[in-house]
Amino acid sequence: MRYNWSIDEIEALFALPFNDLMFRAQQTHRAHFDANEVQLSTLLSIKTGGCPEDCKYCPQSARYNTDVESDLLMKKEQVIAAAKTAKEKGASRFCIGAAWREPKGRAFELVCDMISEIKAMDMEACATLGMLTPEQAARLKASGLDYYNHNLDSDPEYYKEIISTRTYDERLDTLKHVRANGMSICCGGIVGMGESRRHRAGLVTQLARMNPHPESVPINMLVKVAGTPVAEDTQFADDLDPFEFIRTIAVARITMPASHVRLSAGREAMSEQMQALCFLAGANSIFYGEKLLTTDNQDANHDQMLFEKLGLRPMQNPVPSSRRMVNA
């Protein structure tokens, strides 16, 4: 396993002939995972809207005029009922998200209670709640949290074009607190925000230099929501070419061989053929269900039919074969 990738090396992977890149990604994938298994995760927004930050892609920001309304924290009973439904439909991981800059007070304790009950259902628990202090990370670990999601969004250079209210180092600090308390990391980014290929390579470089690598790496295709700057400003007008997105999946797989690479936001607009190429490139995790935090996702029945066409099946053991052998 490598943790010393340079941005030039990763940009060279992006530049490979498409067939060569796919072949290398598939070889890497098969060395660490069953190539026909895909992890199914379900994501629920437990506190929507009203976020004070200015992420230009986010319809939950209070700074933008979008159709997303600000809601209070969901009741625990509602969250647990949603988790049970997700498990019945085949999800092995349940992720909860709250539109906060950072969790505070009684609301944070309520979320910890939710996590404990999700774990009691024999599901993996994941949360994304904003920035964490070391003490909050320790509390989440004590409640049984398996994964904490905190995306880098972009590389350090392009990041300033997207967000000004939270620094890149603050994101890295939260990830350090999560790691220090023994939890796994879910960390990726968003592509298609007007960045260059080198910026995309820079994002992958940041992730691939982490030791250990993030256990879960969500690769999001930008979803332009009316009212957000990415939907209104000409800087973000050009859509990312689908093959460039597939290349990003493949490069993530090659550089982080034992991580779950998640085909994440934007999948609702992808054709079956594009999704199939993403799976061939090494994606082996998806969000399963009709809604992400606020944006639409593929219909669950449609996913089942696509899995049948491709001969894919839900992953039963979320630990890659390479790590199972190491831990045996």
pLDDT in tens, 28-43: 999 999 999 998 888 8
30 is an active site residue: no
Element (H, E) at 156: helix 156-159
CA 114 to CA 123: how far, in whole Å?
Answer: 12
262 is an active site residue: yes
User: If you write DSSP's letter for every residue of 91-110 in order, what string do you get?
Assistant: -SEEEEEE--SS--HHHHHH
pLDDT per residue as tens digits for the range 96-117: 998 888 898 899 999 999 999 9
pTM of the model: 0.87
User: Is the per-residue pLDDT at 321 higher than 70?
Assistant: no
At 191, list the tokens.
Answer: 């592509």
The one catalytic residue in 24, 166, 186, 267 is: 186
The answer to which of 126-130, 243-247, 322-326 has the lowest mean pLDDT is 322-326
Residue 263: partners with Cβ closer than 8 Å, 6 or more residues away: 219, 249, 275, 278, 279, 283, 285, 286
Q: What is the mean pLDDT of residues 54-68?
A: 84
The one catalytic residue in 24, 55, 253, 267 is: 55
Q: What is the mean pLDDT of residues 275-301?
A: 74
User: If you write DSSP's letter for every residue of 196-248 in order, what string do you get?
Assistant: -HHHHHHHHHHHHTSSSPPSEEEEEEP---TTSHHHH-GGG-SPPPHHHHHHH
Rg of the chain, C-alpha, whole Å = 18
The one catalytic residue in 24, 93, 95, 166 is: 95
Residue 35's pLDDT is 93
The one catalytic residue in 51, 112, 187, 278 is: 51
Closest CA to 185 of 145, 149, 134: 149
Residue 133: partners with Cβ closer than 8 Å, 6 or more residues away: 102, 177
CA 47 to CA 157: how far, in whole Å?
Answer: 31
55 is an active site residue: yes
First to last CA, the chain: 18
126 is an active site residue: yes
Residues found in the chain: 328
112 is an active site residue: no
**pLDDT classification of 317: cutoffs 50, 70, 90:** low
The one catalytic residue in 126, 171, 200, 278 is: 126
Residue 191's pLDDT is 95
187 is an active site residue: no
Residue 70's pLDDT is 72
pLDDT per residue as tens digits for the range 139-194: 999 999 999 999 999 999 999 999 999 899 999 999 999 999 999 999 999 999 99
Dihedrals φ, ψ of 61, to 5°? -70, 135
